[in-house]
Structure 1
Amino acid sequence: MSNPKLPPGPKSIFPLANLLRFRKDSLGFLREIGQEFGDVVHFKMGPLRVVLLNHPEYIREVLSTQQGNFVKGRPLEMAKELLGEGLLTSEGDFHKRQSRIIQPAFHRKMLDVYAPAMTEFSTRLMNRWENGMRVDMMQEMVELSTGIAGTTLFNRDIEQEAPEIYQSLEEIMSLFGRITLPFAEVLLKLPLPGTIRFYKAKARLDSTIFRIIEERRQSKLRNGDLLSLLLQAQEELTDSEGISDQQIRDEALTLFLTALDTTSIALTWTWYLLSQHPKIEAELHEELEQVLQGRLPTIEDYPNLKFTRSVFAESMRLYPPIYIIARQALTDFSIGNFTIPRDTIVLMSPYLIHHDPRFHRNPDLFNPYSWYDRPLGQLPKYEYFPFSEGPRSCIGQQYAWLEGVMVLASIAQSWQFSLDSQHRVEIAQLLNLRPKNGMMMQIHRRKR
């Protein structure tokens, strides 16, 4: 392309200025340049050409209408060091094949089977609590989601391994702060302390996953869960199409980490928001008492827990699990009045759209009642997309919705939480919006 009509954008005072601003506060930087330059912004980050799209219609073009012109590409190269060619990172026909194999594990009939595990592990967690205890709610939710994911996806109780998995996950996520550095892949080849911790944590996760795969293969159990589908496909596909143990590992680890990390973070922010809004918390308790009358929720209760679902939806509007989506352009493309060259990195942020007053009234307020005015299914897709959208949206999003509602309903009936007075709530902008330094809370048994 000889003379592309590039969008406006910030200039670099020195070669890495925009990169440093982005690494210091990615959301603050993107919000600032969006407000200054409009809904299509061009800038350089080191050697990379980057475009920010900050309007639902432009985002729809990339994630849906023109999605064939984009790949995840370079933005996820570092993630491949951990996940390999799993569903999150793979492309093209290989991704389509793997998606077809895995999709049945998240059909509605399987979600019905998974629901009891969600309430069972919630009960196990509550049975360990005592009135007045001080806990890191982030760690509690990770360990809870680990147990749920292990049982539902692998038919394996790994609750005892949850603390070690949590520690491995924290060490891995700490390294992903480097993901925006040019030539980040080079850093993974250097014997730096963070890199050494990353590979040790990866080795621990690999050991767990490969052990689970081998035990399931020996058991011959085929019950329709994720691991069953992958092992069945390995047995049935021809040599040219075959699935290796490494590929099974990549898919199993990708969906396992996605399931436990995404939902645990969303639940942690939800407990925090409820602790800051007692009137909303009281209304949640009122719905739970009316619908459940003191018993644990079942899949039949799910449609009736409307306010509970609204609370979870609003939490994910304020703190979306996927807060920045990146694609790489395979070809030159047009967006608005601009022409963007191939190989450009395209950034889109559910967080910015969710906090934009053009699309959400009083966008920084926690207001679950707003979902009564515009139900989830009727909200324009690209004004609310906490799990991304289009053909590459999260395959397990209905699983995450179900787990969020079931866990909230199970726990909030009996317990409520207050933020520890000494704890400062901060956001760590890594691959997702994690609470920096956890979420220290005091737990209180509800008086009925």
Structure 2
Amino acid sequence: MSNETKQVSIDTKTIPVLRSMSRLKELQHNPLEFLSGLTAEFGDIVQIKLFFWPVIIINHPDYIKRVLQENYRNYDKNVPIFNLFRPILGNGLVTNYGGESWLRQRRLMQPAFHRQRTAALGTIITESTRQLLTQWEGPASRGEAVDVADTMMHLTLNIVGRSLFGIDITGKTHTFGKAFSDANAFLLEYFNRPFPPLSVPTPRHRRFHRDVRSLDKVVYEIVQQRRASQEAHEDLLSMLIEARDEETGEGMNDQQLRDEVMTLLIAGHETVANALAWAWYLLAQHPEVEQKLQAELAQVLAGRPPTIEDLPRLSYTRMVFEESMRLYPPVWIIMRKSLAEDTLGGYPIPAQTYIAWSTYAMHRHPEFWERPEEFYPEHFTTEQVARRPRHAYIPFSHGPRICIGNTFALTEAQLVLATIAQRYSMKLVPDHPVTPNPLMTLSPRQGIRMYLQAR
């Protein structure tokens, strides 16, 4: 027998590559359907070319778990999708690449989102929602349609302002919301045609910078008013202002505060607002689900306003919202970059490679969902959840960089759903087009116009 050492080679799988330029053009025109179609054509991993960059698209819970949790330190957020929104968000918690800087930010803000603190905010959520119901009395009595998507934006922005920053920004929600909507749409267009540089003063660039200045004006006013206030506050804004660097003892400057407040205002209202809008849209199309929801609300609440303490018994309300986020996840695409070599399911991942996946596609993967294309809240019964891989459903991402406000968002959404559904049923305006618009979040392109029917 030979004493010669034998070299044992480990075979790795070859990632399929999409080379069709005509297919890649679909990514610009209909990214949701394009990304969903890749699984049927190539399986759960494929490489495409996005402009100059090779990007590996994954669509399997095990691969996503590897990137977000098992080897998360190897994957940072220095990627085009997040860098695209830096002109708006700056270096806030969402766009921070990672490492010690991000960890300090996360640790600083985490206490503000503790479950006990979230529970104390329930009254603010229901009070704000009941104020909206009062505003709706006129349109409802006159039989006028309302844009539910737009209304949810104003509602959640007001809730975030009161809950996290202790301020009433009702009078500024229209200005802030429109400026962000316009800037958001521009950035998606710019992502598809990134020329000339934003520093070149073209008419559309000047409009974009004007929108950012409008956003800044609202945020800086919030910061300056609080700095000048002599009153004691126990909210996130006070925590940010009073925070001190452990080494230097210095607090945040106005730019740092601006980035964090801007991030939390936008991320804290935009995602929940869109998810709620899609929930009303889906309920209007599925009266059998709405009937089950109404039955639960009648049994548990008996006509009184919901409270935080009611949420454990409002299980179907939660299932309705979770199923809405499954079909229309606010954060519809996530991206990372590998820092070193890795493998995903036996496929080699080179260093400095972009990895992306669509939660919209993952949430409709036929291998993991009983009725992938249907609105079926029973996907979220205890039994169904236990049978499903954890990373098959990731509306708030997962791992160490899971959305810091996920508990707050779920609490807010359930209370808003329960409060409004007690008072109104909603019917879609006939022939009004409703199509998903994949911007920073997944919003309805033309809004969602609905008639309010008092219960």
Q: TM-score, normalised by structure 1?
A: 0.93
Q: Say which of 339, 345, 356 aligns to 1:336.
A: 345
| Residue of 237, 262, 273 corresponding to 1:253 | 262
Deviation per residue, 1:18-68 (Å, 9 max, x gap): 653211111222222222111110121221010011110011111111111
| Equivalent residues, number | 439
User: Separation in 2 of the partners of 1:379 and 1:340?
Assistant: 26
Alignment of 1:16-415 (within 5 A): 20-75=25-80, 76-90=82-96, 91-129=98-136, 130=138, 131=140, 132-178=143-189, 180-181=191-192, 184=194, 186-234=196-244, 237=246, 239=248, 242-374=251-383, 379-415=388-424
User: 1:350: Cα distance to partner?
Assistant: 1.5
The residue type equivalent to 2:200 in the other structure is L
CA contact (8 A) 1:272 1:419 kept: yes
**Deviations 1:50-87 (CA, angstroms, capped at 9, x unpaired):** 00111100111111111111111122112111111100
Q: Which runs of 5+ in 1 are unaligned?
A: none
Identity score, percent? 37
| Cα deviations by residue, 1:86-106 (Å, 9 ceiling, x for unpaired) | 000112110000000001110
Equivalent position SS for 2:377: coil
State how far apart, in whole Å, the 2-side matches of 1:93 and 1:20 are: 39
Structure 1 residues 428 and 343 mapped into 2: Cα distance closer, same or farther (>3 Å)? same
Which digits, 9 at most, give the CA deviation of each residue in 1:331-362, with x for residues without a partner?
22222232222222111121111101100011
Offset of 1:186 from its aligned partner? 5.0
Shift of 1:239: 3.5
Amino acid aligned to 1:136:
D
Residues 36 and 360, structure 2, Cα contact 8 Å, conserved in 1: no
Q: Per the alignment, in what secondary structure is the counterpart of residue 227 of structure 2?
A: helix
Distance in 1, Cα, partners of 2:20 & 2:65: 29
Structure 1 residue identity aligned to 2:177: Y
Structure 1 residues 45, 254: closer, same or farther in 2, change over 3 A?
Answer: same
1 CA distance for matches of 2:332 and 2:169? Answer: 29
Distance 1:262 1:360 in 2: 23
Read off the aligned partner of 2:44 and give its amino acid letter: D
For 2:331, what is the secondary structure of its paired residue?
A: coil
RMSD across aligned positions (CA): 2.0
- CA contact 2:368–2:388 (8 Å) conserved in 1: no
Residues 299/373 of structure 1: CA separation in 2 closer, same or farther (3 Å cut) = closer
Q: Distance in 2 between matches of 1:196 and 1:366?
A: 42
TM-score where L is the length of structure 2: 0.92
How far the C-alpha of 1:317 sits from its partner, in A, is: 0.7
